[in-house]
Amino acid sequence: MSQQAHYSDITASQFQTEVLERSMQVPVLVDFWADWCQPCKMLMPILQNLAEEYAGQFFLAKVNTDVEQALAAQAGVRSLPTVMLFKNGQVVDHFMGVQPESEIRALLDRHIPKPEASPLEIARDIGASGDHANALEHIRALRAASPDDESLKIDEARELMALGDLEAAEALLQTLPLDLHETAEVAPLKATLLLAQLQKLGEDPKAEAAPAQMLVQGCAQLLNGQAESGFETLLQLMRQHPKFADSAARQALVAGFTMIGNDPVVTTYRKRMMALLY
């Protein structure tokens, strides 16, 4: 028997252990093939690559029907290639002929157990659904159970910001250790907080009316997901009032770039900002 980590050729004498018994632990995909079958030769590399990619989530057993004719007949194979998926000793799915890789993946994914989500993943999913108060409760429970896990502060700050408690979020981020301050997770949060602060600065009744209004509008647009509109407003402010509020327009633009991250719109407007500066 030629043996690989996640697939092998099997014989009738090995079918009990390599398919039926093994399928009690992990799904087993059985490929009935023959050397003269051209579609079989097209399908087998796809199945072997999937077996390697899934890395033990299923096992591929290959049956040469020219050698194992009795086994193929017992399995009810009428055409080649025929592929059967065994779980708990029983056939739970099958297909005949060459199928697109996407269809085979879909078949496998229907039957391969999905790993259970971690408590943090559950909390993040709750937040992603919009229930930020519930997500915050879950994360605080995780922090209480793992007080040394400083990274949980990032998740708590994110939910606090979603709930509008920016002061609490900022205070929490300030307690992070230095190695976490400029991570890919923290930098966008700090940029969002800066935009909110700049927006509040523009709302100061003592500020010059016209540029202040543009600052408030541009920051609000960015915070509300209107990236292009926000950048246009802030570029206009930068052209007309470059020194307003200690170059607030430039600060807001840079914060917007950081908050949004790797996006073509950021590349475009960063170049336009640099053109104004130099």
Does 7-111 match 119-181 in CATH topology? no
How many other CB atoms are found less than 10 A from the CB of residue 244? 20
Q: What is the CATH number of domain 7-111?
A: 3.40.30.10
Interior angle at CA 203, CA 202 and CA 206, nearest 5 = 85
Q: Select from 2.70.98, 1.20.1690, 1.10.10, 1.25.40 the CATH code of 119-181.
A: 1.25.40
Query: What percentage of the chain reaches a pLDDT higher than 90?
Result: 88
pTM: 0.59
Q: Where in the chain are the domains?
A: 7-111, 119-181, 189-277
- Give the domain 189-277 fold: 1.25.40
Query: Confidence band (pLDDT; 50, 70, 90) for 2?
Result: very low
219 is catalytic: no
Whole-number Å distance between alpha carbons of 115 and 99: 26
Give me the mean pLDDT over the 25-47 stretch: 96
Question: Is the peptide bond between 188 and the residue preceding it cis, with omega within 30 degrees of 0?
Answer: no
State residue 206's pLDDT score: 83
Exactly one of 12, 20, 37, 120 is catalytic; which is it?
A: 37
40 is catalytic: yes
> For 110-129, what is each residue's pLDDT tens digit?
999 877 889 999 999 999 99
Exactly one of 10, 19, 30, 40 is catalytic; which is it?
A: 40
State residue 186's pLDDT score: 95
b/e string for 205-237 if b means 16 or more Cβ within 10 A?
Answer: eebeeebbebbbbbbbbbeeeebeebbebbbeb
State residue 207's pLDDT score: 76
State residue 204's pLDDT score: 85
> For 168-209, what is each residue's pLDDT tens digit?
999 999 999 988 987 889 999 999 999 999 999 988 888 788
